[in-house]
Structure 1
Amino acid sequence: MLKNKYVITAIVLLSLGAIIYGFTIVGEQPAVGNKYIGFGTVGLFLIAMPLFLLKESKGKNVKDYMLNEENIRKMRDIEGKKSKKD
């Protein structure tokens, strides 16, 4: 199977192409142009973006990025150390 990177890139390029094509024909055929723009937007935000986020977040701990009491204390400690150095 093809690598996910190439599939995501192809979806993004096709979606951008559909959006650009939709904007070029929207003056002559508004209904068809709006459909191309809509399908391109759906391709970008409902297909390509979730696939990209799944690919990039694989193997990472979600708890490291959540804002909870422990992480707030860690951030305050780091900021305190930085301000003492200045």
Structure 2
Amino acid sequence: MKYFLTLLLIAAIIGSCIGFYIRTEDPKTGEFLIGISIAVTFFITMPVFIYHRWKNRSVKDYMLTRENIEKMKDYSRDKKL
């Protein structure tokens, strides 16, 4: 998954660079390549990256519950001592 994400990101960056380079000669094709690269980055790469980073984590660990508030208070008390 890590290599897939890296490959997608590099492909999007290269596509954007090529789009900016081609845009001076052929604006329509250049803007199309830039648009596709941005769309791939935001609609494919970002959701896959978020899934990859959060797949083995529990959301309850990051929610503000009474138990977590007590843990934070205990931690801050211990830190001051």
Is the TM-score greater than 0.5?
yes
Unaligned runs of 5+ in 2: none
Is 1:78 paired with 2:75?
A: yes
Counterpart of 2:2 in structure 1 is 5
Distance 2:35 2:70 in 1: 44
Counterpart of 1:30 in structure 2 is 27
Aligned residues: 81
Shift of 1:71: 2.9
Distance 2:66 2:32 in 1: 47
Distance 2:34 2:56 in 1: 34
1:37-52 aligned within 5 A: 37-52=34-49
Give the % identical residues. 38
Q: 2:63 aligns with which of 54, 63, 66?
A: 66
Give the structure-2-normalised TM-score.
Answer: 0.79
Unaligned runs of 5+ in 1: none
Sort the Cα spacing of 1:69 and 1:14 in 2 relative to 1 into closer, same or farther, 3 A.
same
RMSD, aligned CA: 1.8
Give the structure-1-normalised TM-score.
Answer: 0.76
